[in-house]
Amino acid sequence: MSRFVSHQRAVVLMIIAAILWSSAGVMTRQLESARGFEVTFWRSLFAAVFVTATLMWQKRGKALASVQALGWTGTVSGAMWAVMFCCFMIALTMTTVANTLIVLSIAPLLTAFLAWIFLKQVIVPRTWLAIAVACAGIVWMFAQGMSQLGGPQLLGMGIALGAPLASSVNVIVLKKAGARIDLIPSVLVGALLSALAMLPFCWPLQVSAHDVAILIALGFFQLGLPCMLVVTASRSLSAPEISLLALIEVLLGPVWAWLGAGEVPPAETLAGGTLVLAALVFNELVAMRRPVSGAIAPAPDSAPQAIASSTSGTVF
């Protein structure tokens, strides 16, 4: 039973994370002067501040030790976070929210393939079906916009491709680490690497006082907090499940951009979004009705004892 409750809790954390992630587009559209590299720099910097403060409160004087204990696994995870942070935000300033998010939608397929190779996970037919339906829905969502792309937008989508690639690798790293390593500090590493990588390209900084408040919100609540939630949720969810739930961001992102920034989605977005939501609900309902062991072959790190030890002491 504890395993089931832990799984439910992890699903809730992933849903919250995806909803917070989905606010990036509409918040970015409210910026006055900050653009491209500078947006990425400030968002990453404020995310690093948030994660640092959380670790200092959580670890009570052992925050630095937790970063030092990451090892190669944590370093790779941090590097993947940095690639995701940079590619996503730069792409978002070069093309539409919808076009950026359609590229992210390939993450479940990449993650399922990598999990099959590196984690030896048996992906059951219902999960493959959910992935296929969700991806079909997302392609449908943006079919009209894809036919109207220009050169800069194509470049932006090419840059965006780095995000799902890094995301898929990172999910595998998180699952391989399991309860052995606390990888929440890897989010801090990723944020710092992203900020340092962007600084030479955005100097001198030209951010306005109006933009600072938005960038703080982006760093704290759109980046730092949801990424930490994902690390926690990854201890109890399979790799394909993480990527499937993350598609909620792809579903909601264009909606917020429509309501808050006037980027009106075509009818394909509404129809395709219904397919995405149906696939997510189907996959989770079937998972809850069946024993966990019968859904996806669990990795060694997913034993109840390991989950209990890995989630104790967290702030979420």
Higher local confidence (pLDDT), 196 or 122: 196
| Nearest partner of 157 among 107, 223, 102, 79, judged by Cα | 102
Using a pLDDT cut of 70, give the percent of the chain over it: 82
Q: Which of 147, 141, 158 is nearest to 91 (CA)?
A: 158
Contact 275, 136 (CB under 8 A): yes
Does 134 have pLDDT greater than 70? yes
pLDDT tens, residue by residue, 21-39: 999 888 988 888 777 789 9
- What are 255-282's pLDDT values in tens digits? 888 788 777 766 666 677 777 778 777 7
Nearest one of 118, 135, 79 to 251, comparing CA atoms: 135
Radius of gyration of the chain (CA): 19
The confidence score (pLDDT) of residue 147 equals: 58
Average pLDDT for 84-89: 92
Mean residue pLDDT of the chain comes to 80
Q: Which of 178, 232, 215 minimizes the C-alpha distance to 9?
A: 232
Angstrom distance (rounded) from CA 18 to CA 310: 22
Mean pLDDT of 10-26: 92
Q: How far apart are CA 82 and CA 101, in angstroms?
A: 18
Let me know the angle formed at the C-alpha of 126 by 1 and 256, rounded to the nearest 5 degrees.
90
| C-alpha closest to that of 201 among 52, 89, 100, 98 | 89
Listed residue (212, 174, 159) closest to 73, CA to CA: 174
Q: At 216, is the pLDDT very low, low, confident or very high (cuts 50, 70, 90)? A: very high
How much is the average pLDDT of 116-137? 82
The residues, ordered by sequence, that sit 6+ positions from 200 with a Cβ below 8 Å of its Cβ are none
Q: Decide: 142 and 271 in contact? Cβ < 8 Å.
A: no
What are the residues whose beta carbons fall under 8 Å from the beta carbon of 3, sequence distance 6 or more? 292, 304, 307
Confidence of residue 144 (pLDDT cuts 50, 70, 90): low
Stretch among 153-157, 166-170, 221-225, 288-292 having the lowest mean pLDDT: 288-292
Rounded Cα distance between 235 and 238, Å, is 8
Q: Which residue is associated with the tokens 């439910």?
A: 8
Query: What average pLDDT does range 161-188 have in this prediction?
Result: 87
* pLDDT for 307: 26
What tens digit of pLDDT does each residue of 274-315 get?
777 787 777 767 766 665 443 334 333 333 333 233 322 322
CB neighbourhood size of 290 (10 A): 12
Supply the pLDDT for residue 53: 94
Specify the range with the lowest mean pLDDT, choosing from 124-128, 212-216, 220-224, 282-286. Answer: 282-286
Q: pLDDT-based confidence at 197, cuts 50/70/90?
A: very high
Amino acid (one-letter) located at 132:
A
Q: What per-residue confidence (pLDDT) applies to 5?
A: 39
pTM for this predicted structure = 0.77
Note the pLDDT of residue 300. Answer: 38
173 sits in which H/E element? helix 162-177
235: confidence class by pLDDT, cuts 50, 70, 90: confident
Locus of tokens 């929440």: 184
Question: How confident is the model over 240-256, as pLDDT tens digits?
Answer: 788 888 888 888 888 88
pLDDT band per the 50, 70, 90 thresholds, residue 52:
very high
The DSSP output letter for 183 is -
